[in-house]
Chain A
């Protein structure tokens, strides 16, 4: 005779198996964990939660979360909720490759809201093979100036670049820095930059814009990041005559370098790359940094106020930085693309990012407005927070640049260079 205990075990095992199987079957039917035709729609966010650029992530994380909350509160695309899966890449290309694979293969993400230029540039071919749109608020890289987007043919996927960015390129905002340097009569400058893709790209963009408008580079020094001292590099740079010098490094390295610069009393006007408009830099370097300035992507979107209001209402602690509004825009425009497509697949998102942003159509500031317009049979034109999000054929946007200058121990916005002014630096058909 079989004991009760054994019977109990069998019963439990049976229940576990049938229960688990039933749950799995149900999940499959309602589409849990995938884009599919029901349930949540998964969007991935490769993030810089660790690594040298992690100080920029909190604002982007907060903006994405607030945007998704608004989208879901408005009924979500296709009346489904967005489920954001965020994974850390540490801005390491190898990690990024793994994370992208996990988000697409395991999480069934239909689009990715992230990746830095340090990750996109070396992985560009890999990203093309994934055939999943990357809508990123990050990379200023000029590498992407002619590589992303849908080439103006939304229905034809064969020529697509699959990468879109809601932040202006280095080509645009370094042009702003160059323009201001020349306006301030700095006819000769030095450049010192790190040897990673992002740091180098900023320096390249700045030099191109600066030299093509009559400036002269006295010396360019490239340094290995993570060093305990940059004094030799500074000594080399300042062996030349110039009135200003441009710095492109991650924050921690920049603090070390600018402290070395201050200790050595080298003088000259510092021009900082856009990620360096951080209070930590001012706090650590101190008074010598007064007067230093950075040209950052501006807040020239027609609906910046709507974003700022939503962000502040959500009570997010993260300070708004240059990549926070573009993160809001990336999330909104992706959700609107799904809504217009009528299906949540990577291909459908790719085919609709252009149409919801370029117009013609009803101008909308939020997902809710866009959803209503689309449901009424109208075409829409999303007007963003950072820029107007009018994607070029290469998936780029053009926006203004703001100048943040260190005054009395903190960064203060002192000037805005309009998108119209900067368009002269962006060749027609090459951006």
Chain B
């Protein structure tokens, strides 16, 4: 095992970060706020999913989780963010931090402290025949494996990317979202129902968070900190890609995922515990070269 195996791990990790980061970055681009409570939307989705999985097959449970997180997202937006929409980004940011804390504790009180687990049957597919190329103590290539969970995560991500692309390029709502992202005032003057678009974004972001929560839950477990532990990586991916750009968020997520996997695998032993910090170093490095992020400028020109 070596480079190929860790690239597989990085792609899987990048996939679920990407699904979440798209929702996160769309809220930033269209509602114009950094929503630190977004991690809790993942947790809500994960918990709804694990409860639903006790009643329905997993794909149906995942759909229930997406609907649940979508409903939670729009309800929370109406209750906490819409009323202060005109106060500027800082009050919105602080409100989202506070809301995140409240949600985390409400989840803890209602769902309990114990972790929950999806009942999944893992199948491992092993691939052999890639010749080893040892460099020092590290085998660069070699055999590798993927599991059924890996395939589900990547397949879901590809499906989300395809649907998102179709939505943004082929539907009135998607085109209106892009228009609002570019210039909200101009979009309003051109007759776009901006409030409806905002609502759509909240729901879409919630749905994506719900899916991401279920996918993370399938790989690990569902606990109060399921989403919170991912929020920094989601934030890093969104900023790296160019805040507000869904396509950039996808690219940023895969970079973060690969950096996390490869840094853990290949950095000196004393640095293996700080792979998240390495991901942020990469983020800072990219922003020094391109302050708007990978796709920030391109989106503005689209």
Contacts and interface: CB of A to CB of B under 8 A. Distances in A.
A172 B115 CA distance: 30
B229 A226 contact: yes
A301 to B, nearest CB: 30
Contacts of B220: 228-229, 252, 255-256
B127 interface: no
A377 interface: no
A195 B9 contact: no
B145 A265 contact: yes
A312 interface: no
Contacts, number: 96
B122 A224 contact: no
A51 B16 CA distance: 25
B169 interface: no
B216 A223 contact: no
B239 interface: no
Contacts of B219: 228-229, 256
A50 interface: yes
Interface string A264-291: 1100000000000000000010000000
A232 B262 contact: yes
Q: How large is the interface on A (under 10, 10 to 19, 20 to 34, 35 or more residues)?
A: 20 to 34
A263 B126 CA distance: 10
B124 A235 contact: no
Interface string B231-275: 000000000000000000000000000001110111001001111
A229 B9 contact: yes
Nearest to A221: B272
Interface in A189-234: 195, 219-224, 226-229, 231-233
Contacts of A228: 13, 16, 216, 219-220, 229-230
Chain B CB count within 10 A is highest, among A195, A220, A231, for A231
B199 interface: no
Interface string A230-243: 01110110111000
A263 B9 CA distance: 13
Contact of A235 (B1, B122, B229): B1
B122 A263 contact: yes
B5 interface: yes
Given A228-B220, A239-B137, A256-B220, A233 B122 contact: no
A54 interface: yes
A235 B266 CA distance: 10
Nearest to B225: A226
B113 A265 contact: no
A264 B221 contact: no
B264 A236 contact: yes
B117 interface: yes
12 contacts: A219-B269, A220-B269, A223-B275, A224-B274, A226-B229, A228-B216, A229-B13, A229-B219, A232-B10, A252-B220, A256-B221, A264-B124
Interface of A: 49-51, 54-55, 195, 219-224, 226-229, 231-233, 235-236, 238-240, 251-252, 255-256, 259, 262-265, 284
